[in-house]
Amino acid sequence: MTTHVKYKTKPLDCWQWGKELRLEAYQDLVAGYEQGKLMVLGCAASPYGMLAGLGDFVFLAGEPYGASIAADPPFSIPCMEAYEAKGYSRDMCGYMRNFLGSMYLDKYYFTGGPFPKFDFAWSVRHCPAGHPKWHQIVSEYQGIPMNYIDDETMLSADGDPQHRLDYVAGQYLDSIEWMEKVTGRTFDDEKAIEAMRNYFRNEALWGEICLINGAVPAPLDIKSMFALMPISMLRRHEKVATQFLETLRDEMKDRIANQIAAVPTERYRMTMLTPPPWSFLKIFRYLENFGVVFIGTYVYLINSGEVKFLLDEGKAVPATVPEKRPGWPQIKNREDLCRTVARWRAEHPFQSHLDTRKKEYVILFRHWKGDAYLLLLNRGCVPMTTNMYDFQRDLQGHGIPVAMFEGNFADCRDIDETGVLDRLEAFLEGQGIHKLPGL
C-alpha cells in the first residue's frame, strides 16, 4: 500500500449475503426452467411483479441476460457471430445480439445447456429502438405467444392525461386476461398486489442507496453497485430483496458515519450516465490507480431504482412508494393495480423528457459531489447514445468536466481498450490527476 491512502476501508458486512441472493437469482433462472416454473421473457424495466398473480415464475429479462453474456467475451463472440450469420446487422442493440445469438446457438449462458423455451413474452415497450421487435423474433422462432403494453402514449404532453391512463391501464387489464388464457392459470390479484408492493419498495430502496453514495468518501464504488444490482433488478418483487436492501442501506450509513471508503485512495469522483462496456469493467479498477472512484451511473438510479427529482429545488430525494404519494389510491384490486402501475410508469424518471433529463444529470452530479462525468458513445445502444454530444455540451456549459469514449456495452469487438485508457489518462492529466506513484 502507498502513502496515498486517505481513508480506511473494509469489505461490506452484507457482501456474502448479497452474493448468495444474487446466486439464488441466477440459479432460479436455471433451476426454475428445469423445475417447470412459468418461463416469461420481457424487458428488465417491466413491472414483472404482476406475474406473481400467475404463481411461481421465472422472468428472464433480456437486457441483463445480454449484459451477462457481454461480460464473457469467449461466450459472447460466438453469439454475435451466430446472430450476424442470420443476416442481421452489427449496429443493432448489443444486448439483443447476444441474446438472439445464444438462442440460435441453443446455448443457455447460465448452464451451458440448451436455451430455454419460454411460455410467453410479456412486457412494456421500454426501449424506443425496439425491444418488442427483439422479443417478436423470439416469439416467432420459438412459436410462443407475446403481449406488449403500449405505454408510449403516456409520454405525450397533449390531450387529456386521464384518457391516456385509461388506455394504458386497460391494456394491463386485458393482458391479465390474455395471460390467463395462454397459461390456463387463474390470476391471483392478492399475490400480484403483494409482489408489486415489494417491487415499488425495492425500487425506492435501490434509488435511496444510490443517492446515499453521494457521501465523501463514497461507501460503495460502481463495481460493488453493479455486483449487488442484480438483487434489485431481478428480485424486485420479493420480500427478501427488501430485507437485504434495507440492511445494505443501513450498513452504508454506518460506513459514512465512520468514514469507511470503498476506495481508500479516493481523491477524484466520476459518474456515468449509462451502463459501462461489460467486457471492460477493469476500466474502473485501472482508474483507481489514479485515485478515481466511480460513484454511480444515472441509468441504474432510475432503472431498477427510483428517485424523485425536485427540479425547481435542484435536489434528488428518495422516492416514496405509490400508495404513500399524495392523491394516489390504495391498491385494493386488479383495477387499482393496473391504474397504479400505468401512472407510476408514466411519472417515473425513466420516462423523463430529454430536456428534463439534462437537468436531472446536473442535479445528480451535484448530489454525488462529482468531479467529472464519463460518457459512453455506445455503438450497441442507439437510445443511450442519441443526444450524447448535446448532453456533453450541456454538462460542460454547467462547468462540469466531461470525458467521452466510444465503445459498446455488449460487443467487446467494438472497444479499443488501450485507446480508451489512453484517452482517459489524457483527460485526467488535464484535470491535474496523475497515476499515484507506486500503483
Binding residues (CB under 8 A) for another protein: these are 389, 396, 406, 416, 419, 422-423, 425-427, 429-430
User: Of 319 and 420, which has the nearer Cβ to another protein?
Assistant: 420
Buried b (16+ CB within 10 A) or exposed e, 298-333: bebbbbbbbbbbeeeeeebebbebbeeeeebeebee
User: Of 217 and 407, which has the nearer Cβ to another protein?
Assistant: 407
User: Of 227 and 421, which has the nearer Cβ to another protein?
Assistant: 421
Query: Closest Cα partner for 75 from 379, 279, 378?
Result: 279
- Least Å distance, CB 430 to another protein, is 3
Q: In angstroms, rounded to a whole number, what is the distance separating the alpha carbons of residues 428 and 434?
A: 7
What is 140-183 written as a DSSP string? HHHT--EEEE--GGGG--SS-HHHHHHHHHHHHHHHHHHHHHHH
- The answer to whether 239 and 264 are in contact (CB under 8 A) is no
Q: In angstroms, rounded to a whole number, what is the distance separating the alpha carbons of residues 294 and 60?
A: 29
User: Of 32 and 407, which has the nearer Cβ to another protein?
Assistant: 407
- Least Å distance, CB 91 to another protein, is 15
Q: Which three cell numbers stand for residue 42?
A: 420481457
- Least Å distance, CB 277 to another protein, is 14
User: Of 141 and 389, which has the nearer Cβ to another protein?
Assistant: 389
The residue whose grid cell reads 442493440 is 93
- Least Å distance, CB 401 to another protein, is 9
- Least Å distance, CB 52 to another protein, is 46
Query: Closest Cα partner for 409 from 42, 76, 23, 41?
Result: 76
For residue 268, what are the β-bridge partners? 292
* C-alpha distances in Å from residue 433, one per residue of 263, 416, 428: 16, 22, 5
The residue whose grid cell reads 461507501 is 219
User: Of 245 and 395, which has the nearer Cβ to another protein?
Assistant: 395
- Least Å distance, CB 76 to another protein, is 19
User: Of 329 and 419, which has the nearer Cβ to another protein?
Assistant: 419
- Least Å distance, CB 268 to another protein, is 15
What is 278-296 written as a DSSP string? GGGTHHHHHHHTTTEEEEE
Pairing relationship of beta strands 146-149 and 38-42 according to DSSP bridges? unpaired
- Least Å distance, CB 422 to another protein, is 6
Q: In angstroms, rounded to a whole number, what is the distance separating the alpha carbons of residues 240 and 205?
A: 13
- The answer to whether 295 and 373 are in contact (CB under 8 A) is no
User: Of 128 and 419, which has the nearer Cβ to another protein?
Assistant: 419
- Least Å distance, CB 381 to another protein, is 17
* C-alpha distances in Å from residue 109, one per residue of 72, 103, 147, 357: 10, 10, 25, 35
- Least Å distance, CB 88 to another protein, is 22
User: Of 114 and 430, which has the nearer Cβ to another protein?
Assistant: 430
- The answer to whether 15 and 267 are in contact (CB under 8 A) is no
User: Of 180 and 425, which has the nearer Cβ to another protein?
Assistant: 425
- Least Å distance, CB 406 to another protein, is 5
User: Of 263 and 428, which has the nearer Cβ to another protein?
Assistant: 428
| Cis peptide upstream of residue 217 (ω within 30 degrees of 0) | yes
Query: Closest Cα partner for 103 from 84, 87, 83?
Result: 83
- Residue 60 belongs to what H/E stretch? strand 57-61
- The answer to whether 286 and 422 are in contact (CB under 8 A) is no
User: Of 205 and 415, which has the nearer Cβ to another protein?
Assistant: 415
- Least Å distance, CB 338 to another protein, is 46
